[in-house]
């Protein structure tokens, strides 16, 4: 993608988590193509919940700002290190949307279909 990610929204998840030790190892990898704002930032960790087994359960996901479009493939590669399930909608700067679906370490890119619920 030649433009950047504006926002990421987790629309459905079940036991979506990352091992704290894996997250720390990713943070130490200087070879990763990272955007301006990402879940590798220390502040992101504070907004999620850690349990006694060292898992960080994910309520939100950061991968936005300058460089996020160029590093979209890196995001997909990193998501395989998470456990559990998550359906994620990405909104790009131009308003287009993309979908990522994580199922226990396997990432796919389903089509995003939007609709209004019944009143």
**pTM of structure:** 0.86
CA-CA distance, 103 to 101, in Å (whole number)? 7
Higher local confidence (pLDDT), 119 or 9: 9
* Residue pair 48/10 in contact by the 8 Å Cβ criterion: no
* Residue pair 9/16 in contact by the 8 Å Cβ criterion: no
Residue 55's pLDDT band, with cuts at 50, 70 and 90, is confident
CB-CB neighbours of 4 under 10 Å: 20
Provide the token pair at 94: 């131009």
Residue 115's pLDDT band, with cuts at 50, 70 and 90, is confident
What residues form DSSP beta bridges with 12?
87
């Amino acid at each position: 993608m030649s433009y950047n990610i504006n926002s990421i929204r987790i629309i459905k998840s079940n036991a979506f988590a990352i091992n704290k030790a894996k997250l720390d190892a990713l943070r130490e990898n200087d070879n990763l193509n990272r955007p301006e704002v990402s879940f590798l930032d220390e502040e992101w960790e504070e907004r999620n919940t850690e349990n006694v087994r060292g898992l960080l359960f994910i309520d939100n996901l950061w991968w936005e700002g300058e460089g996020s479009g160029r590093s979209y493939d890196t995001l997909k590669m990193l998501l395989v290190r998470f456990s559990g399930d998550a359906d994620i909608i990405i909104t790009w700067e131009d308003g287009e949307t993309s979908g990522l679906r994580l199922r226990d370490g396997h990432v796919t890119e389903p089509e995003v279909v939007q609709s209004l619920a019944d009143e």
